[in-house]
Amino acid sequence: MKEFSSNLENQLDKLISQYEEYTDIIMGCAFVRDPFCYEFTDWAGLNDEAAYLAACKAFMKVAHKEFRWGDYLEARTTAEKTFRLFYEQQHYPIENVEDALNAFIVSFLNQIIDNRQIEWEDTHPGKEMPEPAEDDIDNLYLARVFSVLPNKADDEAFFRSIGVEYNYEQLHMCCWFSAQVTNGAGQYSRGEVNFSARTTYNRLLNYSSLLWIGAVLGADRSELTAAAREAEEKKTNAAKCGVIRKHVPFDTILALFHKLMDGED
Enumerate the domain spans of the chain.
1-128, 131-265
Alpha-carbon span 69 to 180, nearest angstrom: 20
Mean pLDDT for all residues in the chain? 85
Largest Cα separation within the chain, whole Å, is 61
pLDDT of residue 35: 43
pLDDT of residue 92: 85
Q: Name the most confidently modeled range: 52-56, 104-108, 193-197.
A: 193-197
More confident position, 29 or 102: 102
User: What are the residues facing 196 on neighbouring strands?
Assistant: 138
Tens of pLDDT, residue by residue over 109-157, are 888 898 889 889 988 898 999 999 999 999 999 999 999 886 665 688 8
pLDDT of residue 108: 80
| pTM for this predicted structure | 0.85
Contacts of 75 (CB under 8 A, 6+ apart): 24, 67, 68, 69, 171
Mean pLDDT of 77-92: 88
